[in-house]
Structure 1
């Protein structure tokens, strides 16, 4: 990490004609392996630095940015690239996404206007921007055709459906996949397809929308991107919004085409692409959650399943796929939905989770509850911020220490494993009516790593289960009492 930060600083200095960066802060990482940083200059100017060893992906992003930007599409301006091609600086659109605004403000007129603006600029990007794209730069397939659709269906099959252990006729399902992909391939309008057009990839700055993460784009049907935005699981858009925004998009896209879209035919195939997108998302959540063990993706599965359940009950694709329908009915059954819906504590739930940070120098905290015991996690395998002079007087609650642990250590992976273990017990204890669970995090001094980990687990359990938490930082509480006795 130190080497990456140094290289980003060198690139910034080259870009600004010798000026040093005032700060380089790692941004939260999402589903990809790319790492993002916000670089701030001494005059307040900022850029987003991206580190990505997938050089082909970087080259695609550069080419698409140049082509789309040349006709006024709201995409990133890449301002500097290092010699190795694995670090680049791009325009900073801020931290506020359309999804953030939706979650903050709800379904109001302002947010609705931003969805309309996004769809209007999407139509321009797809049709007009697409004329400036060299599709030889595409990362995988040049076109989202039959093979790409089959690939998305198989992604769902392997990484989600097969994890459910549902006994289906494999050959019949593959035959249905073949028929559906053939049906969806026959579309008259193929233009630039963003591929991951959802509200978290739409940044809002000064009431204007900007698009990021379009390097997976290819030639494809107009319907796919609209389906991605309007049916995003976390957005949970009301049905009336989905319908009116789809109508608005059809009008906007027609303005850029030589012939207006046939609304009936467009909508019929749109339903098929909605299904493909919903399944692709479930496959992605399954892969990231079950196989890469990233817990935040598993929490999104219930939303995606509710989306799929509503769709299968209310929309038709115009093609018969009986074995596929049987699998979808099982995926949206109460039995499956209950597997992924996190158990929630109620006011009557007796369980209290006692979370402590402690110093190994003073020993593991005792558990006075009737059963005794509990989890003890040793944080000493995580690189210690206390070795650095600037952190010696700080704790795991200070931002600079949190940044260090999140950006320069294996703490995020460590906590994912902790969450997996503790979640099993908390869920079981809620069901069985147990009243107490103790979880302890220890490090050398009980100041940095254990404090950060205890706070993180408390947030996680509160958000996921709504369970009561008693959080105590033993070493820090003792120091505070010495310095401020009653």
Structure 2
């Protein structure tokens, strides 16, 4: 945060009048809104991955040259971990559509018009945005290929499917995944810019109600159908089939301005991408919800399962064994109880699917999203380090704290593609999460850390230290330290100071208001 403030002061010539930390979701990035004395605002971003930041900065500059409705980056810190971007507004499309969602998907005409405006902009981003774009600068990979598809499918397998306890044949499932990956990638010559996270939370509305787009740093070259599926089948949106049909027609009309469209072929492939996107988000919801205890993702599991059940009931699946596994999964007792909310019942308000998620969470461990109301001035310090360079020194005078040895878990540093990366980079994160050993390791750490922090808060202590070591202090220890720090900050709202010693990265997660 200090580095970001210095960047703002250097760029603006004075300190901000006010600083507001913006709510986070699934990203490791932290966002702030800075206001000056005249009321003008900028968004400050603190990232944990230089490579991810570089991708966003490059893409924002490229899209600006193409006059696409994206933010501009106005200043970047020397470390490349912080930058300032233009503020596109306070209202997201997701927030504006809340009334329609709470009515079970009965959207008003003005809400439908906002949806039409938004999806009509997507082809321009995909096709105009791809013109002259150096995809080699995308992060973490240049294109959606079979390897990228397997990342997402295994994310689903390890972080969601396996948590259900369902019995399945891994060899047969991998064979189905292989066939699916081949079909999804299709003809690479037809690929354009794939936004990757095109959904209502990443659409901001200006004063005139025109959509503006954020959080495209994961974009790459790939099939355009993925983005359409992401938007129209967003788990919590509750878009009726008729509205989806209308919005898809709007997208196709807009796409014809830039490319030839075989509507029959497009709609055929869309069904496959809806399945892929649904499995991918279930993997994300499983990890961010079950393991990281983030309520937003827990609330999204119920409608995602509902979308999957709907997909399975609508027609044939080209992968018989995958169809069998998914059919048995959505028919588990935990997911079968009162599977649909009433039309006027808000999503996530004690529906049968929310209770189903509670059953599954009970198998994994206690999940709490509440904060301890009696917190005091406790500061938690979390380190990652290399055992070759010694355990971090405790400068508090308290003699140290917990030290966890990560070397028993699978080491991505043994493999060439990951050697130059760290535990903050998406490919390493995917490797560790898909392997699963690190998740089991951290589950025990969370339980111990939660109990200790709660006890320190009750006793009024002011300092607690956790340290994670591995061979090089680059992959497993960095991942573990970062995730424990974010977990404790989200759960207790206390100040957490992160130090990735061997990477020379320090970050403060400030205490939050109740």
User: Which secondary structure does the structure 1 equivalent of 2:97 belong to?
Assistant: helix
Kept after mapping to 2: 8 A contact 1:152/1:280:
yes
Q: Does 1:194 align with 2:272?
A: no
Kept after mapping to 2: 8 A contact 1:57/1:215:
yes
Residue of structure 1 aligned with 2:81, choices 86, 95, 98: 86
Q: Kindly tell me: are residues 383 and 306 of structure 1, through their superposed partners in 2, closer, same or farther at Cα, counting changes over 3 Å?
A: farther
User: Which secondary structure does the structure 2 equivalent of 1:24 belong to?
Assistant: strand
Kept after mapping to 1: 8 A contact 2:52/2:140:
no
Residue of structure 2 aligned with 1:325, choices 323, 326, 340: 323
Q: Which moved more, 1:196-205 or 1:180-189?
A: 180-189
Cα distance in 1 for partners of 2:20, 2:375 equals: 29
Kept after mapping to 2: 8 A contact 1:330/1:336:
no
Cα distance in 2 for partners of 1:152, 1:312 equals: 19
Q: Which has the larger radius of gyration?
A: 1
Kept after mapping to 2: 8 A contact 1:271/1:316:
no
Aligned match of 1:245: 247
Aligned match of 1:396: none
Residue of structure 2 aligned with 1:39, choices 31, 34, 40: 34
Aligned match of 1:465: none
- What is the CA deviation profile of residues 245-281 of structure 1, one whole-angstrom value per residue up to 9, with x for unaligned ones? 1111111111111x2x110101111111111100000
User: Which secondary structure does the structure 1 equivalent of 2:117 belong to?
Assistant: helix
User: Which secondary structure does the structure 1 equivalent of 2:139 belong to?
Assistant: coil
- What is the CA deviation profile of residues 297-354 of structure 1, one whole-angstrom value per residue up to 9, with x for unaligned ones? 122111110011111111445x2x111001110222151315873349xxxxxxxxxx
Cα distance in 2 for partners of 1:168, 1:44 equals: 58
After TM superposition, give the deviation of residue 78 of structure 1 in Å: 0.5
Residue of structure 1 aligned with 2:25, choices 30, 34, 40: 30
Cα distance in 2 for partners of 1:215, 1:411 equals: 24
Q: Which moved more, 1:280-289 or 1:179-188?
A: 179-188
Structure 2: 5+ residue runs without aligned partners? 102-106, 338-351, 357-370, 377-453, 463-484, 495-510
Q: Equivalent residues in 2 for 1:250-265 (5 A)?
A: 250-257=252-259, 259=260, 261-265=261-265
User: Which secondary structure does the structure 1 equivalent of 2:130 belong to?
Assistant: helix
Q: Kindly tell me: are residues 275 and 41 of structure 1, through their superposed partners in 2, closer, same or farther at Cα, counting changes over 3 Å?
A: same
- What is the CA deviation profile of residues 150-205 of structure 1, one whole-angstrom value per residue up to 9, with x for unaligned ones? 22111111111111111112111111111111122214621000001010001111
TM-score (norm 2): 0.66
Aligned match of 1:337: 335
User: Which secondary structure does the structure 2 equivalent of 1:285 belong to?
Assistant: helix
Q: Equivalent residues in 2 for 1:171-190 (5 A)?
A: 171-187=171-187, 189-190=190-191
Q: Does 1:413 align with 2:491?
A: yes
Structure 1: 5+ residue runs without aligned partners? 345-354, 361-376, 385-406, 417-448, 457-486
Cα distance in 1 for partners of 2:372, 2:116 equals: 48
Aligned match of 1:160: 160
Q: Kindly tell me: are residues 134 and 382 of structure 1, through their superposed partners in 2, closer, same or farther at Cα, counting changes over 3 Å?
A: farther
CA RMSD of aligned residues (A): 2.9
User: Which secondary structure does the structure 2 equivalent of 1:130 belong to?
Assistant: coil
- What is the CA deviation profile of residues 216-246 of structure 1, one whole-angstrom value per residue up to 9, with x for unaligned ones? 0111001000000000011111111111111
Residue of structure 1 aligned with 2:228, choices 219, 226, 229: 226
Kept after mapping to 2: 8 A contact 1:94/1:205:
yes
Aligned match of 1:95: 90
After TM superposition, give the deviation of residue 358 of structure 1 in Å: 7.8
Report how many residues are paired: 364
User: Which secondary structure does the structure 1 equivalent of 2:111 belong to?
Assistant: helix
Aligned match of 1:310: 310
Kept after mapping to 2: 8 A contact 1:49/1:87:
yes
Q: Does 1:59 align with 2:60?
A: no
Kept after mapping to 1: 8 A contact 2:375/2:492:
no
User: Which secondary structure does the structure 1 equivalent of 2:67 belong to?
Assistant: coil
Q: Kindly tell me: are residues 295 and 356 of structure 1, through their superposed partners in 2, closer, same or farther at Cα, counting changes over 3 Å?
A: closer
User: Which secondary structure does the structure 2 equivalent of 1:42 belong to?
Assistant: coil
Residue of structure 2 aligned with 1:49, choices 24, 28, 44: 44
After TM superposition, give the deviation of residue 7 of structure 1 in Å: 2.4
Q: Does 1:9 align with 2:9?
A: no
Cα distance in 2 for partners of 1:356, 1:155 equals: 32
User: Which secondary structure does the structure 1 equivalent of 2:354 belong to?
Assistant: coil
TM-score (norm 1): 0.70
Aligned match of 1:133: 133
Kept after mapping to 2: 8 A contact 1:156/1:283:
yes
